[in-house]
Amino acid sequence: MRYNRPYYCKYLLRYFNKHAIFSILSIFVVLKIQQHVRNTLIKVHSVFCFIDCIKVEPVETSEHIEFDVQAFLDSIPRPPVKTGPKCPRCLVDMTFGVIRYDDGSEFEYFRCPRTHFNTKCYVTSSKENLAEYLKAVEAQTHPVYATIPPERFKCRCDLSMILTMSKSQQNSGRLYLKCPKRSCKLFQWVNELPRGFAFQILQAQDYL
């Protein structure tokens, strides 16, 4: 069997060149891995030598010290808790609101958030006269009203009544209950016994 010598030599050269390149690359990768492993071992050895050089002497105490968790928690500074004014009738924090009118003016007020179904507590005051208003609620509320939940008061319009402070000269600072829309003209002083329609409302609910 005869072979074409030039073709056979060319095939052998291709075969040996291909495997020689692969062998060279394999040797290069192995050397790199060995170098990386050697450097890593040197670093680990230096770390252990450093740890061995450090000497930690145990602290000898005559008494056993216990960690007080509560004292540690009490020592942590806490931000101050901001609490708003409380409703003198329901003893809950009042909510702040703003009413904006078409002319650009605003009315800032505080109101008790306590509700009963769709009826709200009648304690409502402007921001400016809030301190005076709350003192007047505690001082002027008749004992009859003190025994009735304030969120049970409704006017003839079936709306939640509002406790307002009078600004007239004769009754300045006096509190009275009224319709929020002033449509049914319900009026009742809060420091007097209920009369008229206010009496009928409370009597129908078995409060009188």
Of the CA atoms within 13 Å of residue 6, those in its CB half-sphere come to: 0
* Confidence (pLDDT) at 54: 61
150 and 90 Cβ atoms separated by less than 8 Å:
yes
Instruction: Compute the average pLDDT of residues 83-87.
Output: 80
Domain boundaries, the chain: 115-204
pTM for the model stands at: 0.54
Q: How far is CA 71 from the centre of its chain?
A: 26
| Per-residue pLDDT at 21 | 64
* SS3 (DSSP) at 180: coil
Average pLDDT, rounded, for the chain: 76
Q: What is the pLDDT of residues 44-65, one digit of tens each?
A: 777 767 666 665 555 555 566 6
What Rg do the C-alpha atoms of the chain give, in angstroms? 44
Beta strand ranges found along 55-123 (DSSP E): 95-100, 106-111, 115-116, 119-120
Three-state SS at 176: strand
For residue 169, what pLDDT band results from cuts at 50, 70 and 90?
A: confident
For the chain, what is the largest distance between any 2 Cα atoms, rounded to a whole number of angstroms? 138
Q: Mark out the alpha helices in the chain (DSSP H runs).
A: 5-53, 69-75, 130-140, 143-146, 196-204
pLDDT tens per residue across span 6-48: 544 555 555 555 556 666 667 777 777 878 778 887 877 777 6
With contact defined as beta carbons under 8 Å apart, do 150 and 164 qualify? no
- DSSP assignment letter at 88: T
Asked whether the predicted pLDDT for residue 3 surpasses 60, the reply is no
**Residue pLDDT, tens place only, 97-152:** 898 888 888 889 998 888 877 778 888 888 888 989 999 998 888 888 777 777 77
How many of the other CB atoms lie within 10 Å of CB of 189? Answer: 17
How far is 108 from 7, CA to CA, in rounded Å?
A: 102
Neighbouring-strand partners of residue 99: 107
44 neighbors 38 (Cβ within 8 angstroms): no
Is residue 82 over pLDDT 80?
no
Per-residue pLDDT at 1: 46
- Reported as a pLDDT band with limits 50, 70 and 90, residue 201 is low
